[in-house]
A and B are shown apart, each in its own frame.
Chain A
Amino acid sequence: QKEVEQNSGPLSVPEGAIASLNCTYSDRVSQSFFWYRQYSGKSPELIMSIYSNGDKEDGRFTAQLNKASQYVSLLIRDSQPSDSATYLCAVKKDSSYKLIFGSGTRLLVRP
């Protein structure tokens, strides 16, 4: 079982819709969770971090964490074509542990 799992996609949504990206992780003691966006040919760029159960909103982005279900998600409201990218979920167990990435979900926002 992979430590961090994501559906590879592509997830295709129309412009203006809500895109929902999901991630599960295997280690129950994981403490820190991150979402990165990676455009083709570019480096991963941090867009959200979440550390406690519940929702965290930042502009059009909402991260949701459910530690009991070992599940973290990213919602993108009012999706734009410029949101088309690969979204990477990353998990860290604690301060002395490595940051582990999933394989990413490719999002395509259709104009």
Chain B
Amino acid sequence: GAGVSQSPRYKVTKRGQDVALRCDPISGHVSLYWYRQALGQGPEFLTYFNYEAQQDKSGLPNDRFSAERPEGSISTLTIQRTEQRDSAMYRCASSPLDSEAFFGQGTRLTVV
């Protein structure tokens, strides 16, 4: 595709359920980032991949959050046992190495 694609666009889940958010980066982009963005705030770093290697996961809030990018392309961010405080916009961005990052439309997660 032409841009970064995230799915689903909206996800409503019950507290305690697991959710998986998908990011399909721009073809050929080496780097892939996951962010979480609260209303009125800048994107908060969660984790970052170069190819399939998870270079940095220091922003993941706790061990309920995990991410993978097994073939160096599509990435999945998984949140286990969701809590209401996990409700947010989750954004994915991709970039060529050493270059600008481009964002997808985001996934709005609501935990009820």
Interface residue ranges, A against B (CB under 8 Å): 4, 6, 32, 34, 43-46, 49, 88, 90, 95-104
**Pairs A–B under 8 Å by Cβ, sample size 22:** A4-B42, A32-B98, A34-B100, A43-B104, A43-B105, A43-B106, A44-B103, A46-B102, A96-B55, A97-B55, A97-B56, A98-B33, A98-B48, A98-B59, A99-B33, A99-B45, A99-B48, A101-B42, A101-B43, A101-B44, A101-B45, A103-B41
Across the interface, which residues of A come within 8 angstroms of B43, CB to CB?
A: 44, 88, 101
CB of A98 within 8 A of CB of B56, answer yes
Across the interface, which residues of A come within 8 angstroms of B42, CB to CB?
A: 4, 6, 88, 101-104
CB of A95 within 8 A of CB of B41, answer no
Given A97-B56, A99-B93, CB of A46 within 8 Å of CB of B45: no
Question: A32 CA to B50 CA in the complex, in Å?
Answer: 17
Across the interface, which residues of B come within 8 angstroms of A32, CB to CB?
A: 98
- Per-position binary interface string of chain B over residues 97-112, scored 1 when its CB falls under 8 Å from any chain A CB and 0 otherwise: 1111111111000000
CB closest chain-A residue, reference B48: A98
